[in-house]
Amino acid sequence: MSDDQGTTDNDLILAACRNDQDEMLEDVLKEGDIDINYADALGDTALHYAARFGSLTCLEILVDIPGINVNLRNNQGDTPLHLAVRYEDDPEVAISMVDILLDSGADPRIQNKAKSTVGDYVVGRNDDMRALIDQALAGYEMVRL
């Protein structure tokens, strides 16, 4: 469905996550006909926007939606986890987002177009985040053994 300006419910979900509007997100999810993995021209999904802009509540809502793909890459090859790791406005929010994404199945081994994994972005940064990423990577290594 779209409004008079051509804005679709999918666009509204992206806007809600970009602007940390969790109530708007919930309203559109209840009322709208949406593709939860819809990506804009930049390849960004609602989950990318929630991670990029620190919309923690939106991110929590999104990861609980059946069918959401937490490992989709945007045009730069970044997953929502890449963006959450690089979120700098509030370190506690960043750690929470990373933790939620990892618990939801985000793969810390995925490389973006710059050949960087999330581990490359936490070098020399927050020790708690580094520990989260290291723990997740260790889990993947244990599975391979």
- CATH code for position 97: 1.25.40.20
Q: Name the domain count of the chain.
A: 1
Q: pTM of this prediction?
A: 0.90
pLDDT at 144 exceeding the cut of 80: no
Evaluate whether residue 83 is within a structural domain. Answer: yes
Can you give 120-142 as a three-state secondary structure string?
HHCCCCCHHHHHHHHHHHHHHHH
Residue 2 lies in a domain: no
pLDDT value of position 139: 76
- Residue 6, pLDDT score: 64
Is residue 112 in a domain? Answer: yes
Q: Which of 62-76, 91-105, 106-120, 124-138 has the lowest mean pLDDT?
A: 124-138
Residue 48: alpha-carbon gap to chain centroid: 4
Residue 47 lies in a domain: yes
Q: Is residue 24 part of a domain?
A: yes
Give the mean model confidence (pLDDT) for residues 27-40: 92
For range 1-10, the mean pLDDT: 66
Domain-embedded: residue 4: no
Q: Would residue 102 count as lying in a domain?
A: yes
Give a yes or no: residue 1 inside a domain: no
pLDDT at residue 92, as a whole number: 93
**Cβ neighbours for 71, distance < 8 A, ≥ 6 positions apart:** 79, 81, 105, 106, 107, 110
Higher pLDDT, 55 or 6: 55
Q: Identify whether the C-beta of residue 102 lies closer than 8 Å to the C-beta of residue 130.
A: no
The domain in which residue 138 lies consists of: 9-144
The percentage of the chain sitting over the pLDDT mark of 90, rounded to a whole number, equals 72
Q: How far is CA 129 from CA 57, 91, 94, in A?
A: 19, 9, 8
